[in-house]
Structure 1
């Protein structure tokens, strides 16, 4: 299982930031990395007041711990 994780700040203000994540069960880590920019753009379209600071793909084990 792959997790797409991003950090975004409201209006770009560093004091008002949040992280958001998506679990991607149908995507490999390589596919996530190839599609990360599109995933971030999709998230940004749904959250127009938020400015994405960074994003990443990472594997997650079935027990919920990062590998």
Structure 2
């Protein structure tokens, strides 16, 4: 598994690195719908852990060589 995010780093909204998975509005939509990567909500601050982001990214992986049923 390739890590797109630093495992031990915390990311907050506005971090440029989060743009790789979606902009601020897209992340807000996912949180509202119960989708997207795991996050912490501390008051009004949203925090994503690098390890959680990497796990979510890996779960989104599509391998076209695997035949779909």
Both proteins in one fold, TM over 0.5:
no
Instruction: With the length of structure 2 as denominator, give the TM-score of the two structures.
Output: 0.28
Instruction: With the length of structure 1 as denominator, give the TM-score of the two structures.
Output: 0.29
Which structure is higher in helix share? 2
- Asked which structure has the greater CA Rg, the reply is 2
